[in-house]
Amino acid sequence: MNVESWLAFGAHADDVEIGMGATIKAETERGRDVIICDLTEAELSSNGTVDIRKKEAERAAELLGVSKRNNLQLPDRGLYMKEDYILQLVSVIREHKPEYVFAPYWVDRHPDHGNCARLVKEAVFSAGIKNIKDKNQQPAHKVKNIFYYLINSAERPQLFVDVTRSYRTKIEALKAYPSQFVKTLESIDTPLTNGYIERVESRDKLFGLEAGVSYAEGFITEQTYITNHL
């Protein structure tokens, strides 16, 4: 059976893990091909360096069973609506031909997350238009739907995914980013170094309570879709 791929975009390495790490692990264990594309190298992060973040991202991807993780090296805090940026995302979408695309929910305290969502929405639409040419001259590809995962938003999801069996691996993947989530004598105090992983787990427990399971991850979509499963 041919299992189609998923493509998850994040503004920074760790975004995808926060919002849907356990869903990814559950799907890769089922044999699905999942690709992560980080838009920036998070070069303006208060803690860590580009090299450190790259190594942490590679380790997290390994834990989640991701088949490929790439980085477009767009500017951190510079994810503005530019045609060149959109076309770079179009190239990624056409290369991997995903069934579904994932992006951060557009309402978030960090502007990069919302801007990432808007770039992805534009790119998904453009990727399906044959007369829009990307740098590699790839054929058009139509994505079935975009799902938005939650990072810092308290929005109630439209869709819950039971991730009880894969949840411990999500926590391991988040802990693969000690530069972001572990407070040290050298680190700068940020929201991420003050019990952030615990807050994410509490949120996913609450989603699980609503869904009638131990842990769930939540997603929002603007489109109507018909499917027997994701």
**Predicted confidence (pLDDT) per residue in 21-71, tens digit:** 999 999 999 999 999 999 999 999 999 999 999 999 999 999 999 999 999
Question: What is the pLDDT, as a whole number, of residue 154?
Answer: 83
Listed in sequence order, the residues at least 6 apart from 82 whose beta carbon sits closer than 8 Å to its beta carbon are none
Summarize the confidence of residues 185-201 as an average pLDDT: 92
Q: CA–CA separation, 87 vs 126, rounded Å?
A: 8
* Residue 185: pLDDT over 90: no
Contact 84, 204 (CB under 8 A): no
Q: What is the largest CA-CA distance in the chain?
A: 54
Please spell the DSSP secondary structure of 105-174, one letter per residue: -S--SSHHHHHHHHHHHHHHHHHT-TTS--TT-PPP---SEEEEE-SS--PPPSEEEE-TTTHHHHHHHH
Q: Can you name the residues that pair with 40 across neighbouring β-strands?
A: 74
Question: What is the pLDDT, as a whole number, of residue 87?
Answer: 98
* Residue 99: pLDDT over 80: yes
What does pLDDT average to over the chain? 94
Question: What is the pLDDT, as a whole number, of residue 1?
Answer: 39
Where is pLDDT greater, at 191 or 84? Answer: 84
Which residue's entry shows tokens 């407070």? 183
Q: CA–CA separation, 144 vs 178, rounded Å?
A: 35
**Predicted confidence (pLDDT) per residue in 162-183, tens digit:** 999 999 999 999 999 999 999 8
Question: What is the pLDDT, as a whole number, of residue 228?
Answer: 54
Q: CA–CA separation, 29 vs 14, rounded Å?
A: 20
Q: CA–CA separation, 180 vs 173, rounded Å?
A: 12
- Identify the band that residue 223 occupies on the pLDDT scale cut at 50, 70 and 90: confident
Distances (CA, A) of 51 to 181, 187, 211, 213: 17, 16, 39, 38
Among residues of the chain, what percentage have pLDDT more than 90?
Answer: 90
Contact 74, 88 (CB under 8 A): yes
Q: What is the pTM of this model?
A: 0.94
